Amino acid sequence: MLLQAGVISGFCHLHVVPVKGTRRPHSACPHRRQVARSQASSAPPIQGRPSARVAFKNRTVHVDRSASEPSGQPGCEAYADPLKGHAAPLGATYLPEEAAVNFALYSSSAAGVKLCLFKEADLQSGRLSYEVELDSAYNRTGDVWHIAVPQLEANLLYGFKLQGGHESEQVIDHCTIDTYDSMQSTEDAVTVINPGLRFNSEAVVLDPYARSIVGRRQYGQLAQDLDYTSDSVLGLASTWPQTAAMVPSPDDWFDWEGDRPLNIPLEELVIYELHVRGFTQHTSAHANAPGTYLGLVEKLDYLQTLGVNAIELLPVQEFNELEYYQLIPGTDDSYRFNYWGYSTIGYFAPMARYSQAAHSGGSGQDVVKEFKTMVKECHKRGMEVLMDVVFNHTAEGNERGPTLSFRGLDNRVYYMLAPEGQYYNYSGCGNTFNCNHPVVRKFIVDCLRYWVIEMHVDGFRFDLASILTRAHSQWHKPSKMQNSNGSGHTNGSGMQSTQDTGIMVEGAGVPTGTPLTDPPVIEMISEDPVLRSCKLIAEAWDCDGLNQVGAFPHYGGQWAEWNGHFRDTVRQFIKGTDGPWAAAFAQAMSGSPALYSQTEPAEGEWWASNGGRKWKGGRAPAHSVNFVTAHDGFSLADLTAYNEKHNEANGEDNRDGESHNLSWNCGEEGETMSPAVLRLRGRQMRNMAAALLLSHGVPMVQMGDEYGHTKGGNNNTYCHDSPLNWFNWDQAQHDETGYARFFRCLVNLRKQRPELRRRSFMDGGAMTWHGHMPHQAEWTEETRLVAFSVSSPSQGGLYCAFNTSHKPQTVTLPHWPGLVWQPVMDSGKAAPYDFLHVDEDLSQEQLDSARAQMGMWTSEGCYPLLPYSSIVLEAMPEQHSNRGKPPAAAQSRVAGSAQGQEQVHPQGMSRGSPAANSLHRAVSSSQPDISTPPPQRHLDPAGPATNEQIPAGQPS
């Protein structure tokens, strides 16, 4: 028997009413519901579109027609008669042969789909221009709805309306009561149907694969003041107006000028965390296109001079900066913004209001080209572009949030849900993206591949990446035979019901949200032939306490991690806190081998001791992305100026933000005129910068820290589009304290010294630890001095020391025959003598004079350190030492090791030579292998390690 599609027998009468206390969705309102073309239509086929039938043994099936044949909808002045279209690829794709645009949309639960087309003027007025209803018999393949529209008018925009069920609907069994008020008096059983579904047939939602999104054109500008309560007006509010996606056109060519991936080795990177708008929005930038991708291009030469070779962009995928828009309490004209952008709407679309093209009336394609221009110009200057991506949640929030895209397309698929449809909230933002669902993980991989292939991005930092390791939820439908009557019910008006039978199951065979040892989405990313060559950086924790630092599923070292241990340890040790911080600091400076090299988990590492056991160890120093500050938290300058957060400007009575910042104000809270306090703060800033840039691993610098940007003690500036967050070019260029020069010199020292950029963890002979005497390191809880030397066969080597005591200390330098120690950096000295490098601020004669003055110390094999100071000395051949140095014969020193063994420097020695082996044995005998570091207590990378309150004045 040949069955016609959609004909179902055995209808049951259901009465559908909203759940008490919930807002009735438009699709559930009988007086608003529009009768769509029935999927169960028994009307004869449209003339001119015969369906072929082919017999296979005892059954007959329909043969799918060509995708280029008409699907029955009429054309209009803006487009020709639509075609059936293709089910792949998803999104909107231009088809040259048909001169048509193919639209393909995934939705497993929709009962109907309409393609909505806008002219921009109509979009701004909240009204549709054109609407095309898809026919489920011809415009659907499996769970993909598709249609091809030929000869589309130029510059049209698009979205979709979807018809389907909503979890607020209920079924009242065995009664004929139609009203909600009557239902309250009945004792009949009430059953909630469609758990997890949130369709709204009157809302126009975005295509998840939209390549550019058009709405408001000016950053921070409200949309037209329309009557958004009216049924005839699309959009939610002037802060949430209707948006739509760019329809692709044949004119999307971009001249990359031969651009290719830079493929800079991970260990060579110096990452600069940058906010696109904040970088050039300040008036001091004097940018032609402030706050935009082109504005960033104007300032790339500055970044090149600074020495960074990778920029990590805070979110640049489409988001709504007015999401939190309201007057900040206690202010007259300050409004709350979503400044950071960690609330994504369109994953394939660059943030339009970061583009000069959008500001000046350009098309969505112009926005894309401007982003590409920025990437190309970065590559020309040797800088890679990394994106901060947010796949842990979306802007739609919890059940009270707006329906923008995923919720209105397939809420059960895209979000992690409990059996009755409640949202899991591992992100702390209301919802959790269902990352390991088969459809969602394909979406994530498709998105990342697009940014790499089409936009030439070099890598990604994954916000709250541990959520990507959690087990997904999955809606389970009965078989077609079991469900043959499940969607054929009618309601009291005779319309077909959208009831969807099934159950919410644990998608991975374990409870939803369980961390998976082998998360499918991480494996797909890691093994993808395009993505495996990219930089992949995980923020390896989430808001529910899952901490995977050191054991994030890395699939053979494909993933690096933000190392929060480094941040906390450096802050604790540099301010001189009692505790195991000297040993922890040594670990941090050597690339955190306990985290990334050792296979045995430390006490307290729950994940590494359980599901993450197979991922523990086996990586390199470069898998540790080291940072002292980031966008959320104190700036580097504020770490030295505030004991407490000062977030009053946020309008939340200082309740928001982290309360334990491991900071020290150096004696006075906030702004001060005290010369002694200011000098100490300057040294502490230099000490933390030195710890960051002298450490093994990949350093990440926060925008503005290189010149000492302050946020006035506010450690949670997410809501401020103001000078509080904007880069101050005047301060950076005037550099009154010399700190900006110091920082720049440090970055370039790192680039020049390969011994600071090791590819693998070093044995005891390559990195040697010292105390006041060579090879006599101390690891007590009172230790305030950590010193180490790193050798380089081609450049001698470096000696680095950090004194975090309130007392001055003197160190004896290791003896390397044929070499002399010359000072390079001393944070205790005034600028420009804090860094001895010839430039416009320091002449060769001044450098020689400074080294000659320190010759009285180095000639005796020692060096003094002021309280809270750090030093770097370089080993140089005696014949190449600078003028003004005391005679080499005067440099009698204490022998190298505590055991009296004379140390032989490895300069010019080949691996395995007798001299090299002798050096290795000598160093190893006096210094334990760094792979077995002194014991230290566990530090939480997601927050401070202790709850201590740091008093003003000298730290404990």
pLDDT per residue as tens digits for the range 306-349? 999 999 999 999 999 999 999 999 998 999 999 999 999 999 99
Would you give the DSSP letter of residue 335?
A: B
Task: Give the pLDDT confidence score for residue 9 in this predicted structure.
Answer: 31
Residue-wise pLDDT for 884-895, tens only, equals 343 333 333 333
Least confident of 169-173, 223-227, 236-240, 439-443: 169-173
Residue whose pair of structure tokens reads 């802060």 in the numeric block: 239
Local confidence band at 501 (pLDDT 50, 70, 90 cut-offs):
low
Cα gap 92→102, rounded to integer Å: 6
Q: Which amino acid is at 449?
A: R
Model confidence at 109, in pLDDT bands (50, 70, 90)?
very high
- Whether omega before 832 lies within 30 degrees of 0, making that bond cis, reads yes
812 pLDDT higher than 80: yes
Answer yes or no: is pLDDT of 23 > 60.
no
Report whether 574 contacts 684 (CB < 8 A).
yes
> What is the average per-residue pLDDT within 407-421?
95
Residue 477: predicted pLDDT: 72
Distance of CA 866 to the CA centre of its chain: 39
With beta carbons less than 8 A apart as the criterion, state whether 252 and 365 touch. yes
**Is the pLDDT reported for residue 48 higher than 60?**
no
**Residue count (the chain):** 956
The mean-pLDDT minimum among 514-518, 605-609, 940-944 falls in: 940-944
Q: What are phi and psi of 233, to 5 degrees?
A: -115, 125
Mark whether 97 is an active-site residue.
no
CA 360 to chain centre: 29
pLDDT, mean of residues 26-51: 34
From the list 321, 539, 542, 668, the catalytic residue is 539
Q: What's the pTM?
A: 0.84
More confident residue, 34 or 542: 542
Q: What is the 3-state secondary structure (H, E, C) of 448-477?
A: HHHHHHCCCCCEEEECCHHHHHECCEEEEC
| Model confidence band, residue 158 (pLDDT cutoffs 50, 70, 90) | very high
User: Closest Cα partner for 425 from 498, 483, 512, 322?
Assistant: 512
Among 50-59, 186-195, 944-953, the range with the most confident prediction by mean pLDDT is 186-195
Q: Average pLDDT for residues 12-27, to the nearest whole number?
A: 34
Residue 795: pLDDT band (50, 70, 90) is confident
Tokens, residue 514: 């369980």
CA 310 to CA 320: how far, in whole Å?
Answer: 26
**Which residue out of 122, 463, 644, 755 is catalytically annotated?**
463
Instruction: Tell me the percentage of the chain whose pLDDT exceeds 90.
Output: 75
- Report strand pairing: 13-14 vs 490-491: parallel
Q: d(Cα 857, Cα 810) in Å, to the nearest integer?
A: 10
Q: Is the pLDDT of residue 11 over 90?
A: no
**b/e for 311-327, b at 16 or more Cβ within 10 A?**
bbbbbbbbbbbbbbbee
What is the residue-averaged pLDDT of the chain?
Answer: 84
Give the CB-side neighbour count of residue 771, counting CA atoms within 13 A. Answer: 14
The answer to whether residue 485 scores a pLDDT higher than 50 is no
Q: What is the pLDDT of residue 951?
A: 29
pLDDT given for residue 669 in this prediction = 98
DSSP string, 888-914: GGG-----SSTT-PPP---TTPPTT-H
Computed from CA positions of residues 712, 714, 715, 716, in that sequence, does the dihedral angle turn out positive or negative? Answer: negative
539 noted as active-site residue: yes
Task: Reply yes or no on whether the pLDDT at 51 is more than 90.
Answer: no
